[in-house]
Amino acid sequence: MSDSESAAENQDQPVGTGGEVRQKALQEELRSLVDVVGPGPLVDLLLERAFGLGATDIHFDPRDDGLHIRLRVDGILHDILVLASTMTAQVISRLKLMAGMDITEKRFSQDGHISNAVLKNQRDIRVGCGPTIYGERLVLRLMPESGSFSTLDSLGLNENQINSLTHHINAPYGMVLSVGPVGSGKSTTMYSCLDLLNDPGRSLITIEDPVERRMHAVNQIQVDTKIDFNFVEALRGVLRQDPDVIMVGEIRDPETAHIAVRAGLTGIRVLSTLHANDTTSTIDVFRDFGIPPMFIGDSVNCVISQRLIRKVCTHSFEEYHPDEGQCRFLGIDPEQAESVTLRRGVPSDTNFHTGFSGRTGVFEILAVDPTLREAIIHNKSSKELQRLAVERGMITLEEAAKKKVLEGITTIEEIHRVLVFAT
């Protein structure tokens, strides 16, 4: 997530427990208020309830029959309410005013920000809007809670992966990268790594777009493309400010990549995210950026590839034994099926009628040891790098996901939804 990814990415947080508002109750509550309150109280209540439900995004989609409001919970959008077309303009204007956006401009896309001060010390919200054929569309990204950081074990890493990652985080210099698609939890992982390094004896600096979480004793920099203060300019400046650890929100272009690599080679610990399908394809991305193989091999210490998968609801589920096809997929002898118990969720009010509640991560960690470093320097293909890494004990994303199924944490259908398997 950033890849913000998001994302803002409510990892491992259960939804619909502890008496929190459920989908049906929220729908009824909002519908009962539509005709008796103005857009202000309605929007305020919606934001409050969305935070309570652990939603990551709120979509306001104009259509021919009105304004459709949807919440993204556990990575899936859910219909909440349809407002009459007569209320659409009022609600959109209210949100744009809160976000400091130009309410008179409806022809172009805009970005805005609702601060936690406006929200009475709730979390910050990023706002984006743009025109559609039925009017303006708004999407709100509910940012993670400032000062709240996940431990590595709570992210979904197994013990061996935690030990490997901790070892490379504590290396005196070099790069640790988290890769994956938007909304896969990359930023959450990087913040967790940064939190482990947050020591009074170190100078820690982040360069972000936007700053997603406030961290005590960390110098956090917000880039601003409107004044040409981008990642490259910020990174160049930071390198002159005696940093021990730099977290770059995202490596998006060759110039940022080159500067980050050089920083990792000159005694600085660099944390960052990147868009790549898996750990070894990250090396191909750096090659495409024009970075010499020797620099890649010497600067990259560790690459984390990750995805977020939904967890089986612990309040509403059933157990079953896998059939022959499921056994083959999971690598189980079909004759042993009766000794294997899997779980699947039962749709109910406690889980938005999905059978799932909360999310966790599945991870693939490429530790660049001398053998892999030599292979990178000699321009071996990503497939060859993966073969070497697996021989040396790397657990692939597919293997990690299947283990979560066998542990009863998720389902085969969910990992098929999230992962693309080779055939």
d(CA 43, CA 296): 49
Distance CA 285, CA 288 (A): 5
Q: Which residue has the higher pLDDT, 16 or 286?
A: 286
Query: Is the confidence at residue 69, as pLDDT, over 60?
Result: yes
What pTM was computed for the model? 0.86
* CB 5 within 8 Å of CB 342: no
The model's confidence at residue 147, banded by pLDDT at 50, 70 and 90, is low
Of 332, 359, 203, nearest to 267 by C-alpha is 203
pLDDT digits (tens, 9 = 90+) for 225-284: 888 899 999 999 999 999 999 999 999 999 999 999 999 999 999 999 999 999 999 999
Residue type, 370: P
pLDDT at 225: 80
Tell me, what's the pLDDT at 213?
A: 86
Is the torsion defined by CA of 88, 92, 97, 98 positive or negative?
Answer: positive
Token pair of 322, please? 């896998």
Taking 80 as the threshold, does the pLDDT of residue 33 lie above it?
Answer: no
Confidence of residue 23 (pLDDT cuts 50, 70, 90): low
3-state class (DSSP) for residue 199: coil
- For the beta sheet containing 66-73, the strands, ordered from the edge strand earlier in sequence to the opposite edge, are 76-83, 66-73, 57-63, 135-142, 125-132, 110-114
Percent of the chain beyond pLDDT 90? Answer: 74
Q: How confident is the model at residue 317 (pLDDT cuts 50, 70, 90)?
A: very high
pLDDT at 15 > cutoff 50: no
| pLDDT given for residue 148 in this prediction | 65
Q: What amino acid occupies position 359?
A: R
CA dist., res. 5 & res. 351, Å (int): 24
Lowest mean pLDDT among 34-38, 76-80, 209-213, 377-381: 34-38
Report the pLDDT value the prediction gives residue 3, as an integer from 0 to 100. Answer: 40
Helix-, strand-, coil-residue percentages of the chain, each rounded to 5 = 40, 25, 40
Q: Are 165 and 157 in contact (CB under 8 A)?
A: yes
Helix (H, G, I), strand (E, B) or coil at 63: strand
Residues β-bridged to residue 127: 112, 140
Mean pLDDT of 160-173: 95
Of residues 374 and 123, more confidence is placed in: 374
Q: Cβ(8)–Cβ(56) under 8 Å?
A: yes
Which residue type, as a one-letter code, is found at position 401?
A
Average pLDDT taken over every residue of the chain: 89
13 vs 24, more confident = 24
Tokens of 358: 């909360």
pLDDT, mean of residues 293-316: 96
Nearest to 238, CA basis, from 224, 219, 251: 219
> Given this model, what pLDDT does residue 240 score?
94
CATH number of 23-142: 3.30.450.90
Q: Examine the pLDDT at 344 and tell me if it is beyond 70.
A: yes
User: Which sequence spans correspond to the domains of the chain?
Assistant: 23-142, 152-418
Q: What is the pLDDT of residue 122?
A: 58
CA distances for 13 relative to 81, 84, 220, 336, 363, angstroms = 24, 33, 26, 34, 18
What value does the mean pLDDT take over residues 165-186?
95
Per-residue pLDDT at 120: 60
6 has a pLDDT exceeding 60: no
Predicted local distance difference test score (pLDDT) of residue 16: 38
Edge-to-edge strand list for the sheet holding 356-367: 219-222, 204-208, 245-248, 269-274, 174-179, 300-312, 356-367
Q: What is the pLDDT of residues 73-94, one digit of tens each?
A: 999 999 988 998 888 999 999 9
Class of domain 152-418: alpha beta
Q: Is the pLDDT of residue 172 over 50?
A: yes
Neighbours of 79 (CB within 10 A): 13
pLDDT of residue 9: 41
Q: For residue 17, what pLDDT is reported?
A: 39
Q: What is the mean pLDDT of residues 167-178?
A: 96
Q: How many CB atoms lie within 10 A of CB 290?
A: 10
Structure tokens given for 316: 């509403």
Residues ≥6 apart with Cβ < 8 Å to 3: 180, 181, 182, 183, 184, 186, 187, 250, 273, 275
Predicted pLDDT of residue 10: 42
pLDDT confidence tier of residue 341, bands split at 50, 70 and 90: very high
Residue 195 binned pLDDT confidence (cut-offs 50, 70, 90) = very high
Closest CA to 355 of 288, 289, 295, 412: 412
Reported confidence tier of residue 7, pLDDT bands at 50, 70, 90: very low
Q: State both tokens at 35.
A: 């005709």
